[in-house]
Amino acid sequence: MKPNALALQAEQNILLIRKQRVMLSHDLARLYGVPVKVLNQAVRRNRERFPDDFMFQLDNAELDNLKSQIVTSSWGGARRAPPYAFTEQGVAMLSSVLRSPRAVQVNIAIMRAFVRLRELLLTNADLARKLATLEAKYDSQFKAVFDAIRQLMAPPAPDQPPKEIGFHIKEDAVPYRTGRRKRL
């Protein structure tokens, strides 16, 4: 897999859980090219390398919330235990546990993805500061414009259900035939 594709895939798998940017064990296993069982086993054998601020296990409520956001499970059905969530430091520590050429490349790509995400967040904060400066400089005639920009910059509220996507037709009755056609 190309390094850019690997970095993009890593970026798409970074989630915000417990106010921390993390990657889940099943996503990491897929990137590293190992079964989830192998990754979890390597972590359990080296538990002292993964303190609570490097890795934690999702609770059932977090897992249910995650499943409701994803809608379809890519985990292959039922799970015996909730997945582990690895912070940036935990992912870095995985490189010392999983030793293969692919693990090195994947780890580099993941570290670059975390750095890129941090840069994007800093850029957004810088934009908010510049917007506040402009708002203070100009009078109330631009208030509606500034309010609209702030609304676009705000992250979505976590308690709001996601909006349905697609075209839905509300019909009173089903116009389709349900009986079999007679053969001539």
pLDDT single digits (tens) 133-166: 777 777 666 677 777 777 777 776 666 666 676 7
Read off the pTM: 0.57
**pLDDT < 50: residue spans in the chain:** none
**Cα–Cα dist 61/67, whole Å:** 10
Beta 15-17 vs 20-24: how paired, if at all?
A: antiparallel
User: Which pLDDT value is given to residue 13?
Assistant: 81
Is residue 104 in some structural domain?
A: yes
Query: Same structural domain for residues 49 and 129?
Result: no
User: Which pLDDT value is given to residue 115?
Assistant: 81
| Residue 45: domain span | 3-118
Question: Number of structural domains, the chain?
Answer: 2
The CATH number linked to 12 is: 3.10.260
Query: Same structural domain for residues 22 and 111?
Result: yes
